[in-house]
A and B are shown apart, each in its own frame.
Chain A
Amino acid sequence: MFEQWSLFVLAFMGFVFLGFLIYLLGNRKSVKEEMKFETYTCGEPFPKVSVSTENFYHAIKRALGVKDLRSYHSGKLSDYLMWIVIGTVIVVLLMVIWV
């Protein structure tokens, strides 16, 4: 099943190395033109930012409707038990119908 695996791994590592080389070359060039960055952002100092975990993939969450999915996980034991009963009925019914 994995006859050509080593070839694949070698090729993958080769591409990673190539990518690293390109990154190094690109990085060296960007250091020389460091001032250009400030002009691009209209001269103002660029603040060091990081995305809050709360806001990570906010757009995706809204698009996929994950928030609706989350509302079914209320943390209440009675809700969990309801899901278990529903699930069991479905499994038993499907098993009987399936055969």
Chain B
Amino acid sequence: MDKNSNAYIFIYASVMVVLVAVVLTSANLALKPLQEKNKQNEKMINLLSSIGVSADATNAAKLYSEHVIKEVVINKAGEELSVYSKGKLEHGDVRAFDVNLKSALKTIEKTGEVALPLFIMNKDGNEYFVIPVYGKGLWGPIWGNVALENDKNTIYGVNFGHESETPGLGAQIATSPTEGRVVFSDEFKNKKIFDESGNFTSVKVIKGGVANQSEVKPIHGVDAISGSTLTSNGVSEMLEDCLVNYINYFKKDN
């Protein structure tokens, strides 16, 4: 058969495309459960790390169920739309753990309707409120978890993740805590998101260092990583945009 005839080329291309499609689809279907599990594990590991519990893929599920008290989904007024605890939904129809934060934030932008997850966790008998956050960095999405202490104001711990920030610069927001070194996420400890009169201030990441400016009080600001201004701005915006939705919930119980 003439290899340069149109018929041969068409048949060759079609057969090849179908074969490749079958191979890729079956690989995807076969690996999907494993990938989903990895994603869930990662989410648990991140939630745990914000309250200072280090976990890995092997013990994440167990540690998570030990440390979580309840998962709630809240609306704008601060009411609990759904509550999930001890392995079952108490009311509402969606588990906070399964809320897709990215699309939930998009809905807020579009319709103003708020349905955001909040995780109430414990460690050594203390209660912590863990808020997942999601936003834009320089090159792609960034995300994280903010754990507040019982006063719903003081930050107990945070952790951040990113998809494609510059290695060595913006990517340092995700540097995991190491013994004896202060990493970016450590700077957030003991900062406050409300000022003395109860107004929401969020926590800002400040280029040039908190000490060198007077706009933001040291208690509401952390030093930016030098050389990564845009990632730092992204972190500031992410914290503000996400935390602002929880104000009513936090004020309500006070």
Are A and B a genuine interacting pair, yes or no?
no
